[in-house]
Amino acid sequence: MIQEYDIIVVGAGHAGCEAAAAAANMGSRVLLVTMNMNTIAHMSCNPAMGGIAKGQIIREIDALGGYSGIATDKSMIQFRMLNRSKGPAMWSPRAQSDRLRFAEEWRLALESIHNLDFWQEMVSGLIVKDGRIKGVRTSIGLEIMAKAVILTNGTFLNGLIHIGEKQFGGGRSGERSATGITEQLVQLGFESGRMKTGTPPRVDGRSLDYTRMEEQEGDEIPGKFSYLQSSRPLSQQRSCHITYTNPEVHDILQTGFEKSPMFNGRIQGLGPRYCPSIEDKINRFADRTRHQIFVEPEGWNTIEIYVNGFSTSLPEDVQFKAIRKIPGFQQVKMFRPGYAIEYDFFPPTQLTNTLETHLIENLYFAGQINGTTGYEEAACQGLMAGINAHLKIKEERPLILRRNEAYIGVLIDDLINKGTDEPYRMFTSRAEYRLLLRQDNADIRLTELSHKIGLASQERLNQVQQKIRATASLTNELNQTQFKPQEVKETLASLSSAPIKDRSSLATILKRPELSIYDFKIFSKDIEHKLSTYEPEVIEQAEIQVKYHTYIEREQQNSEKMNNLENLKIKKTFDYHQLPSLSAEAKEKLLKVKPETLGQASRISGVSPSDVSVLMVYLGR
């Protein structure tokens, strides 16, 4: 085998796969090292992609030229657009996936990349010289050299699995943990911590009574994630189901609390606040008599079911007794119990905005090693680390996404400036410019940026440029087409909309919240014909731009004001001690994070508005 690469990616989860694919597609020679070639892109937890804010991230990954959206489209069994009852800033696509097919699609995609090689073994250490990464050392003593290394170790770093009072080493069920890297990084000066996540039991779908549950079907007209036209929506879908716990379930679960590693102190790591275990739910929300359980198929042709909402680390006998009291689960057969897993992470304030570490040049961290949770959060970090590792070794400018450009930019900015002491999960509420960062316009926002650095294909760029032209054309027609009050009086009445008083354009009429652009089909045959010549995504884009024009414009102006702070650069060697007016806490945080701009400095926890003013005055000079 070749003993030297441009980039080595350690770990083949969602972060590792995106990192390896991005760097290799941009032209780097990449080695993807994994402990098990059969678990590449394995969905360790729930068999689903997307959801609130996470769906936006998958769209952004796709717009940049990543693979998560494509793999999802090729393997999903159900598609739903969440939050349709709210404004477009909140719309979030979600897909139920076929677990095995998702991993297969990813592996086939990776194997088709010419510059990408694979190696199956555990990486036990890093080769570092003069503060710079030089390669990795494997468990059998093999040294593989590289110009850059990306660590995407997931939950494997000193992973410890808990089921009741039982505990054993493992990165996930049936797989061993990885050792050696944490200890070396700590010796090199890195700060580490412990986090915890969990997973529910898997059960036999043949043993469930679905008549006692609510059916949850996919969208009547399903969408997809990838913007590529080669990716097609589903023609048929498989339903999920919803059921609920009850006081009897809660009482049985509480009998196991004294043996729960969460409550008796054996688990030290903090768990995800927004995806708590079932024992955590009934403990924190004692007044709730029931909790929702989502019954999710693992794929098209399997009987295995994922019991979403019942994540637990209680003893397996307690799990089994309790789950059998859930409606529809009276005769359930369990494939394997739920468990919790503790693992090492490294506070992400130790990273630059390219995800390169401050301490070791050309060493990058991506995914759960940075304290995040979720496939989508990991995948986008991997993509950005792969892109920036390639650009760094080619001595080109990095790709930094700002908070007003992408949810990915929000996520990375939050991590490196604020850090996290619990598993970080993305939400729409974290993005202050979420009306600009919609799932429908990720291609418009990001494809050109990615094409310039050599990742997004010419096909993608051509497609998004055509979408922009078509949207502008339709928007112009909506502004140009006008009606007199008498011409549309009856039509508006039939749509339960008030009459217009003056001659008005369709764009003006469309601003009414009760009207949809598709309602215009009944205005005239000519309008119906014109709409039929546009793609659905163009029609949706034009409608959003017209309806929310004022709000979008205002948010754009606010983001531009904030960008002025981003233009004030701060040297890494800047001595904050020379500014006596800065608070002691601000000096400490600024020296630790080493912000590159005043905008970044303003978002660091502990840096007050008055501290920002002091810096602004000094930098302005």
Residues 543-571 pLDDT 10s:
999 999 999 999 999 888 888 888 888 98
Looking at residue 401, its pLDDT comes to 97
Percent of all residues in the chain with a pLDDT value above 90, rounded to a whole number: 77
Residues 9-21 pLDDT 10s:
999 999 999 999 9
- Residue at token pair 């994922």: 306
Question: Exposure string (b/e) for 82-112, b if CB count within 10 Å is 16 or more?
Answer: beeeeebbbbbbbbbbbbbbbbbbbbebbee
The phi and psi torsions of 8 (rounded to 5 degrees) equal: -110, 130
In this structure, the strands spanning 132-138 and 202-204 are unpaired
Looking at residue 605, its pLDDT comes to 79
Cα distance between residue 123 and residue 82, in whole Å: 40
Q: Work out the pLDDT band at 148, boundaries 50, 70, 90.
A: very high
Percent of all residues in the chain with a pLDDT value above 70, rounded to a whole number: 98
Least confident of 286-295, 378-387, 425-434: 425-434
Three-state SS at 561:
helix
Looking at residue 338, its pLDDT comes to 94
Cα distance between residue 601 and residue 608, in whole Å: 10
Cα distance between residue 438 and residue 93, in whole Å: 11
Which distant-in-sequence residues (6+ apart) come within 8 Å of 532 by Cβ? none
Looking at residue 289, its pLDDT comes to 94
Give the tokens for residue 242. 């919803």
Of 95 and 273, the one with more pLDDT: 95
Whole-number average pLDDT of the chain: 93
Looking at residue 200, its pLDDT comes to 96
Residue type, 54: K
Cα distance between residue 496 and residue 499, in whole Å: 9
Q: Work out the pLDDT band at 383, boundaries 50, 70, 90.
A: very high
| Spatial CA neighbour of 464 closest among 66, 24, 64 | 64
pTM over 0.75: yes
| Spatial CA neighbour of 619 closest among 605, 600, 593, 592 | 600
Q: Work out the pLDDT band at 207, boundaries 50, 70, 90.
A: very high
Rounded average pLDDT over 208-223 = 97
**Dihedral angle sign, alpha carbons of residues 51, 102, 374, 460:** negative
- For residue 276, the 8-state DSSP code is -
Rounded average pLDDT over 199-210 = 97
Looking at residue 467, its pLDDT comes to 96
pLDDT tops 70 at residue 125:
yes
Residues 446-497 pLDDT 10s:
999 999 999 999 999 999 999 999 999 999 999 999 999 999 999 999 999 9
Residues 93-104 pLDDT 10s:
999 999 999 999
Residue type, 599: G
Cα distance between residue 443 and residue 386, in whole Å: 20
Looking at residue 589, its pLDDT comes to 87
Q: Which helix (H) or strand (E) holds 169?
A: strand 166-169
Cα distance between residue 475 and residue 472, in whole Å: 5
Q: What is the DSSP track for 113-166?
A: -TTEEEEES-EEEEEEETTEEEEEEETTS-EEEEEEEEE--TT-BT-EEEETTE
Q: Work out the pLDDT band at 169, boundaries 50, 70, 90.
A: confident
Cα distance between residue 313 and residue 253, in whole Å: 11
Looking at residue 1, its pLDDT comes to 55
| Spatial CA neighbour of 14 closest among 58, 79, 65 | 58
Looking at residue 416, its pLDDT comes to 95
Residues 349-358 pLDDT 10s:
999 999 999 9
Q: What is the DSSP track for 342-389?
A: EEEE--GGGB-TTSBBSSSBTEEE-SGGGTB-SHHHHHHHHHHHHHHH
Check: CB of residue 319 under 8 Å from CB of residue 337: yes
Cα distance between residue 164 and residue 184, in whole Å: 31
For residue 549, how many other CB atoms are within 10 A of its CB? 13
Least confident of 41-45, 212-216, 538-542, 581-585: 581-585
